[in-house]
Amino acid sequence: MSSGDVWILGIHMTKFGKHPDQTTVELAAEAALGALADANVHMKDMGILAAGNLMGGGGMGQQLQKAIGQTGIPVYNVANACATGATALRTAVMAIKAGECDYGLAVGVEKLAGAGLLAGGSRKAESDTWTPAGPYGAVAPIDGRIGTETMPGVFAQIGMEYGHKYGGTSFDLFAKISEKNHAHSTLNPKAAYQKRFTLDEIKNDVMIAYPNTRPMCSANCDGAAAAVVVSDAKLRTLDPDQRRRAIKISASVLTSDPWEEACQILPNVNTLTRNAAKQAYEQAGVGPEDLDLVELHDCFATAELVHYDNLMLCPEGGAVDFFNSGATWRDGSIPVNVSGGLESKGHPIAATGIANIWEVCTHLRGEGGDRQIEGATVGLAHVIGLGSACGVHILEKAGV
C-alpha cells in the first residue's frame, strides 16, 4: 500500500432532476455501481466507504451496503452542509494516504426535488429581549438581528457587499452570469435543466433575494454521484486502459471558518474559500493560470462572481472585469461551470461535491462530447456550505 499519490479510477453521476420512482438508497446505488463499473473493479475490492447524505437522517452508508454488498469494511457517514460530497471523497483519500487500504468508494446522494428554500426547521418563540441560555451560552441566532441566515439572503448580501467594496456590479451583470450557465447547460445531458434563457427572461422572473431571481438560484433536485479512488502503487498494477483513464488528485483540501474576533457575524464564505484555494495550489504545485476549467459552487449568481476572486482566478477586486472579458465562457481562457453549474445542472446537496469533480474528470479524460474543453489537463472543483465548510480539489490528467 502507498501513502503517496491518490487517483480517481472510476466516477459516475446520475442524471440530476426529479426521480419520484427512486429512493435515496436506489439513487446512491446507481451512482456507486456506475463508479465501480467505470473503474472496472468490484465492491469486494473496496477498503473503505464514505457515504454523504444530509437530509436522510443518517446511516446512508450501511443502507447502501445492503443494496450493493456488505463486506465488513469501515463505513463513514458524512454530513457537512453543501461540502458533504467533497468531504466524503476526502475521507476516502485520507484513508488511502494513511496506508489503510488501496481502494476507497465515496458517494454523495440527496433527494431535494420540491424542497423550497431549505430555510430550516421551526424557530422557538422569542420575546422582545434576549437572555443567554442553552448550550451556546452567549451565542444567539443572527437571523433577524444582524442580517439573515437563509441561503438566498446570505449570498445576495455577499454579492452586494462585493459591489460596494470594488464597484462594477449590477443587476444586469449577475443576470449575465446566469445566462452563461444556462447556455452551458444545453450541452449537458445530465443537467436537471437544459434550457437557454435570455437576459430579459432571467431578469423578469420571480425575485428571490435581490439581485438573484429564480433562474439565478441553484435548482433543488434529486441526484447522486460516486467516485472510486485508488493508491498510486495499486494503480501501477492495473490494466493499461484503467491507468490511461485515471485522474490524479493533486490537491484535496477542506477548510472551515477561521478565527474571528467576534462570533456574532454573518457567514464569511470568502475567507475560508480563499484559504482552501491557497492550500490547494500549494499542494498541487500549480497556480490559477494553469487551470483549463473550473467547476465552482454557484449556488447563486452572486456567489459565482465572488468565487472568481476567492479562487484567485483574477486579481483581488477584479471579478467584474474578469467576467466581462469573456474568460468564463466555455470558449474563454478559464471556462467556469461548463456543466451549467448548480443553477441549471442542479444542486442535490450531498451529491454536488462529487458531481463537480465528475465534470472536471470527464473533460480531463476527453469524454465531454459536445461540451468538451479541448486539451484540458488541469481542473479545479470547489464547493462551499454554510456553517461553514469549503472543499477544493485540483485534478490532473497524468496517465501512468
SS (H, E, C) the chain: CCCCCEEEEEEEECCCECCCCCCHHHHHHHHHHHHHHHHCCCHHHCCCEEEECCCCCCCHHHHHHHHHCCCCCCEEEECECECHHHHHHHHHHHHHHCCCCCEEEEEEEEECCCCCCCCCCCCCCCCCCCCCCCCCCCCCCCECCCECCCHHHHHHHHHHHHHHHHCCCCHHHHHHHHHHHHHHHCCCCCCCCCCCCCHHHHHCCCEEECCEEHHHECCCCEEEEEEEEEEHHHHCCCCHHHHHHCEEEEEEEEEECCCCCCCCCCCCHHHHHHHHHHHHHHHHCCCHHHCCEEECCCCEHHHHHHHHHHCCCCCCCCHHHHHHCCCCCCCCCCCECCCCHHHHCCCCHHHHHHHHHHHHHHHHCCCCHHHCCCCCCEEEEEEEECCCEEEEEEEEECCC
**Residues 29, 158 within the same domain:** no
In this structure, are 260 and 241 located in the same domain? no
How high is the pLDDT of residue 119?
44
Residue 8 has pLDDT above 90, yes or no: yes
Residues 237 and 333 placed together within one structural domain of the fold: no
- pLDDT bucket at 265, cuts 50 / 70 / 90: low
Q: Give the model's confidence band at 268: pLDDT under 50 very low, under 70 low, under 90 confident, else very high.
A: confident
- Within a domain: residue 282? yes
* pLDDT score of 122: 39
pLDDT at 1: 38
The answer to whether residue 137 scores a pLDDT higher than 60 is: no
Reported as a pLDDT band with limits 50, 70 and 90, residue 124 is: very low
Last residue of a domain, one of 246, 262, 294: 246
Q: Per the domain annotation, does 164 fall within a domain?
A: yes
At 132 the pLDDT is 60
Bridge partners for 227 per DSSP: 11, 106
Do 183 and 90 share a structural domain? no
Q: How confident is the model at residue 17 (pLDDT cuts 50, 70, 90)?
A: very high
**Residues of the chain with pLDDT > 70: what percent?**
89
Same domain, 158 and 286: yes
Q: What mean pLDDT, rounded, does the chain reach?
A: 91
Is residue 124 domain-resident?
Answer: no
Q: Hey, how many other C-beta atoms are within 10 angstroms of the C-beta on 288?
A: 15
Q: In this structure, are 106 and 52 located in the same domain?
A: yes
Q: State how far the Cα of 126 lies from the Cα of 161, in Å rounded to an integer.
A: 29
The sheet with strand 6-13 has its strands ordered as 75-78, 49-52, 103-111, 222-231, 6-13, 247-256, 389-397, 378-385, 293-295
Show Cβ contacts of residue 383 under 8 Å, excluding neighbours closer than 6 positions: 82, 83, 85, 86, 297, 352, 353, 356, 390, 391
In this prediction, residue 117 carries a pLDDT of 56
- Same domain (yes/no): 290, 230: no
Q: How confident is the model at residue 120 (pLDDT cuts 50, 70, 90)?
A: very low
**pLDDT (tens digit per residue) in 288-310:** 999 999 999 999 999 999 999 99
Query: Among 348, 66, 92, 75, which residue's Cα sits nearest to residue 224?
Result: 348
Residue 213 counted as domain residue = yes
- The CATH number of whichever domain residue 309 belongs to comes to 3.40.47.10
| Domain limits for position 357 | 151-217+250-397
Model confidence at 133, pLDDT cuts 50, 70, 90, reads low
Domain-embedded: residue 211: yes
**Environment class of 399 (CB within 10 Å of its CB; exposed 0-12, middle 13-18, buried 19+):** exposed
68 and 209 in one domain?
A: no
Tens of pLDDT, residues 209-250: 999 999 999 989 999 999 999 999 999 999 999 999 999 999
11, pLDDT greater than 60: yes
Residue 123 lies in a domain: no
Cis ω on the peptide bond leading into residue 339 (within 30° of 0)? no
| Terminal CA-CA length for the chain | 17
Residues 190 and 228 grouped into a single domain: no
* Whether 284 and 382 share a structural domain: yes
Domain termination residue (choose one: 246, 263, 286):
246
> pLDDT band for position 152 (50/70/90)?
confident
Residues 165 and 281 in one domain: yes
Per-residue pLDDT, averaged over 270-283, amounts to: 97
C-beta separation of 294 from 382 below 8 A: yes
Q: What is the pLDDT of residues 54-101, one digit of tens each?
A: 988 889 999 999 999 999 999 999 999 999 999 999 999 999 999 999
Sign of CA dihedral 150, 153, 155, 158: negative
Q: Looking at the predicted structure, is the pLDDT value of residue 149 above 70?
A: no
Same domain, 73 and 199: no
Domain annotation covers residue 122: no
Mean pLDDT of 245-272: 86
Residue 144 confidence (pLDDT) above 80? no
For the cut 70, the answer to whether the pLDDT of residue 123 exceeds it is: no
- Total count of domains within the chain: 2
Residue 121, pLDDT score: 39
Whether 121 is in a domain gets the answer no
Cell of 15: 442524471
